[in-house]
């Protein structure tokens, strides 16, 4: 039996899936952050995260150490061919055995997961934001993903940061009134005025600020004008990323599927409706479609593709069913 590994790694944590060649997910593993490979301690952090997630997945499958037929890693902040990818590849080869090891940006495996490896575009709005697409000719393009200082418009962090800024301005009397002034302290767990210094001093991080996006989308759903504008501006920024990817690639006549991925979209219509309106203006061929798989499964799909496995409908169906079973805690073999 041949086994394939897909791993989704980043600032919030690391998730991996182990699957057989017929598409059965036999184990899922989780561990801590695995990003910033070139930062001090980055190699050790990445090695620990990879070995932890893979070891947990193998244990869940009732398997011991093995050599995978192929392993696909999708990592935040890493792009194929860069120094970060080279160093991460060295760490991975030290940490596990695989005949084929592929290292890509996490947007690539998110695209594979959302669209089951078929042509189209994905837009990610989690802690950060990025868009990625592949056209029917295999050409690829990516926009965004430049981090919280130079980019990440429309992301959870951008929404959370914008909410804190708007609430502070309302508190000072220099901005419009918003219910965010009252909602954010409870959401972040501290007085509003303490949030900036807590962030500057590292007592709360970007992921914590990104969680405030939920307070923003709830306020927008309640028709708070400030929150609604933050959501609409974020949706427009995400639509621009998608439109730029579509423009860089070549498509036949007809719709281009666009899969929305990431925690910001958990708000449902509150975010998806303004995103749809913005796409209608900027990229009329774009059609929003629900993502099909989790990113780690997208890694499995790409690992299989790299090994020459034909992604038949039976394989996709079994991946979907067994992933849901493993997530629900049903052990492999049941």
pTM: 0.85
- What pLDDT was estimated at residue 260? 96
Banded pLDDT at 173 (limits 50, 70, 90): very high
- What pLDDT was estimated at residue 333? 62
* Rg (the chain; Cα; Å): 20
Banded pLDDT at 307 (limits 50, 70, 90): very high
Average pLDDT over residues 188-199: 94
Banded pLDDT at 286 (limits 50, 70, 90): very high
Q: Which range, of 34-38, 147-151, 228-232, 294-298, averages the lowest pLDDT?
A: 34-38
From CA 76, how far away is CA 148, in angstroms rounded? Answer: 13
Average pLDDT over residues 4-33: 89
From CA 87, how far away is CA 98, in angstroms rounded? Answer: 16
- What pLDDT was estimated at residue 334? 58
- What pLDDT was estimated at residue 163? 97
Q: Which range, of 34-48, 49-63, 194-208, averages the lowest pLDDT?
A: 34-48
Average pLDDT over residues 238-249: 97
Q: Average pLDDT of the chain? A: 91
Whether 240 has a pLDDT exceeding 90, the answer reads yes
Tokens of 114: 């959302």
- What pLDDT was estimated at residue 185? 95
Task: Enumerate the β-bridge partners of residue 31.
Answer: 14
- What pLDDT was estimated at residue 296? 92
- What pLDDT was estimated at residue 51? 87
- What pLDDT was estimated at residue 298? 94
- What pLDDT was estimated at residue 281? 96
Please give the backbone phi and psi of residue 241, each rounded to the nearest 5 degrees, phi first: -60, -45
- Angstrom CA distances, 4 to 62, 83, 306, stand at 15, 25, 10
Average pLDDT over residues 17-24: 93
Banded pLDDT at 250 (limits 50, 70, 90): very high
In the β-sheet with 70-75, what is the strand arrangement from edge to edge? Answer: 25-31, 14-20, 3-9, 70-75, 101-105
**Looking up tokens 């400030």, which residue turns up?**
226
- What pLDDT was estimated at residue 90? 80
Whether 160 has a pLDDT exceeding 90, the answer reads yes
- Angstrom CA distances, 332 to 24, 67, 87, 179, 323, stand at 9, 19, 33, 48, 10
Average pLDDT over residues 159-186: 96
- What pLDDT was estimated at residue 274? 98
Whether 152 has a pLDDT exceeding 80, the answer reads yes
- What pLDDT was estimated at residue 145? 87
Do the Cβ atoms of 287 and 258 come closer than 8 Å? Answer: yes
Whether 46 has a pLDDT exceeding 90, the answer reads no
Whether 269 has a pLDDT exceeding 70, the answer reads yes
Average pLDDT over residues 159-171: 97
- What pLDDT was estimated at residue 45? 83
User: Coil, helix or strand for 25?
Assistant: strand
């Amino acid at each position: 039996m041949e086994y394939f590994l897909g791993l989704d790694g980043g600032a919030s944590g690391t998730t991996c899936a182990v699957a057989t060649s017929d598409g059965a997910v036999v184990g899922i593993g989780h561990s801590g952050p695995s990003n910033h490979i070139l930062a001090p301690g980055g190699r050790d952090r990445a090695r620990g995260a990879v070995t932890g997630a893979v070891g947990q997945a193998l244990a869940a499958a009732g398997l011991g150490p093995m050599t995978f037929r192929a392993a696909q890693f999708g990592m935040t902040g890493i792009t194929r061919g860069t120094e970060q990818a080279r160093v991460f590849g060295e760490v991975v080869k030290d940490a596990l055995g695989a005949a084929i090891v592929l290292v890509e940006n996490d947007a690539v495996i998110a695209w594979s997961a959302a669209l089951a490896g078929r042509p189209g575009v994905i837009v990610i709005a989690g802690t950060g934001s990025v868009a990625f697409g592949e056209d029917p000719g295999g050409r690829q393009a990516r926009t965004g993903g430049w981090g919280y200082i130079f980019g990440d418009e429309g992301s959870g962090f951008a929404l959370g940061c914008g909410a804190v800024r708007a609430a502070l301005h309302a508190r000072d009397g220099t901005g419009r009134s918003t219910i965010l002034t009252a909602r954010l302290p409870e959401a972040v767990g501290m007085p509003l005025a303490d949030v900036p210094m807590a962030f500057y001093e590292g007592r709360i991080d970007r992921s914590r600020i990104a969680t405030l996006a939920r307070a923003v989308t709830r306020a927008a759903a309640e028709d708070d004008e400030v929150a609604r504008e933050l959501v609409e501006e974020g949706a427009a920024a995400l639509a621009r990323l998608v439109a730029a990817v579509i423009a860089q690639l070549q498509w036949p006549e007809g719709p281009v599927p666009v899969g929305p991925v990431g925690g910001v979209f958990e708000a449902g219509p509150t975010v998806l409706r303004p995103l749809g309106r913005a796409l209608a203006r900027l990229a009329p061929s774009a059609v929003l479609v629900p993502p099909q798989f989790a990113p780690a499964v997208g890694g499995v799909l790409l690992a299989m593709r790299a090994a020459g496995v034909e992604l038949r409908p039976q394989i996709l169906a079994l991946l979907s069913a067994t992933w849901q079973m493993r997530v629900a805690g049903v052990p492999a073999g049941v």
